[in-house]
Amino acid sequence: MTTSPLAELSTHVADLIARIEQALTLADLLVDEPFIVGKRSILSTLQKSLGALAPEERKDAGARLQDARRGIEEAFAVRRALLEEEARAEQLEADRLDLGDVVISQVLAPLSVGHPGIVAATQRQLEDVFVAMGFNVSDGPEVESDWYNFEALNIPPAHPARGMWDTFYVDLGEPETVVLRTHTSPTQIHLMEQAVAQDALPIHSVMPGRCYRRDTPDARHLATFHQIEGLVVDRGISFADLAGVIETFTHAYFGADISSRLRPAFFPFTEPSAEFEITCTICRGDGCRTCSQTGWIELGGCGMLDPAVFEAVGIDGDEWSGFAFGFGIDRCAQMRHQIADMRALIDNDVRFLRQFS
Ligand SMILES: [Zn+2]
């Protein structure tokens, strides 16, 4: 007598039930599905083996196997429904937005109030210093014709001094070339033209604003930066007046222990021209790496207005004289706050910015 293929049926059923119960997630259960109720299940294998039985045995065995399969399928369906329900609940919990949490965190957290960026704040402080010295504040366009940015400032086309400014050109067309201003100096030309047209000389004005140069940004340069320039046109203005304004500003803005000095330089729009240096703000004049042990750092340029500039705007150089000076606002902020890399000013890293609130 041969052993019935279903001799171990109850053991197989128990194994399959255990396998169903061991699936802890819907994914686990579905991975196992072919082995429990599908074609790769032991029940399917047994089904095929029934063909070898005698017809009278086959009918009885078939009925037993059918019962077993029904039981397994039912257990599988029950388990599947339970795990599906759990998975749904988990998803709902993950998607839930707890409005109570949001409201409570907003009530308890201190209100975060914005503040001016370090460059804007520096610009305002500089304006305040100059206004207190009797200057007014003027503004001018950032997109300029070649004439205002260069020619009226005694820098004709092809002049080698144009190499001092790497320029962004907006339009090279006729009748005139248009540039992003490389300095705030074109505003001086506008001011002098207006003053002549309105018979409104003298001028005592500072001009802060954004400028552009085709520079590769590094620790000391940005392609977009801010300058402030000063312009005085009056009767009997001398180089001593210029030196006095620079020194007064230096004390007022950087502190009583920081002084200024002037060194000969060249700019096309001033004659004579000078660079102005201030006591190193890092070492206070003792000498350090930043100032190359000199105790001085360069801040900007200045000089007496060149007669060619007066001529360009129609001011009588016999009656009027004047001076101009200019320096970087970003550079000023960098020196006053001892910021190692100027690029930090435009990185928008709030951890950096919050230090200056
Ligand atoms: Zn130093």
**What pTM, to 2 d.p., does this model score?**
0.67
Nearest Cα to Cα of residue 143 among 172, 109, 181: 181
pLDDT in tens, 235-263: 999 999 999 999 999 999 999 999 999 99
**Distance, CA 253 to ligand 1 centroid (Å)?**
18
Q: What is the DSSP string of 130-153?
A: HHHTT-EE----SEEEHHHHTGGG
**Distance, CA 290 to ligand 1 centroid (Å)?**
5
**Distance, CA 267 to ligand 1 centroid (Å)?**
26
Domain ranges of the chain: 9-96, 118-356
Residues 61-69, mean pLDDT to the nearest whole number: 91
Q: What is the DSSP string of 200-212?
A: ---EEEEEEEEEE
Q: Which two tokens stand for residue 207?
A: 């001009």
Q: Residues 6 or more apart from 100 whose CB is under 8 A from it? A: none
**Distance, CA 182 to ligand 1 centroid (Å)?**
29
Which residues are within 5 Å of ligand 1 (an ion), measured at CB? 280, 282-283, 288, 290-291
**For 315, phi and psi rounded to 5 degrees?**
-100, 135
**Distance, CA 300 to ligand 1 centroid (Å)?**
17
**Distance, CA 106 to ligand 1 centroid (Å)?**
46
What is the side-by-side strand order in the sheet with 169-171?
143-145, 178-180, 169-171
**Distance, CA 255 to ligand 1 centroid (Å)?**
16
**Distance, CA 250 to ligand 1 centroid (Å)?**
16
Q: Is domain 118-356 in CATH 3.30.750.24, yes or no?
A: no
Under the banding of pLDDT at 50, 70 and 90, the label for residue 116 is confident
Across all residues in the chain, what is the average pLDDT?
A: 89
**Distance, CA 338 to ligand 1 centroid (Å)?**
11
pLDDT in tens, 150-178: 989 988 887 877 777 788 888 887 778 89
**Distance, CA 345 to ligand 1 centroid (Å)?**
22
**Distance, CA 86 to ligand 1 centroid (Å)?**
69
**Distance, CA 294 to ligand 1 centroid (Å)?**
7
For residue 357, pLDDT over 60 is answered with yes
For residue 322, pLDDT over 90 is answered with yes
Please count the other Cβ atoms lying within 10 Å of the Cβ belonging to residue 253.
17
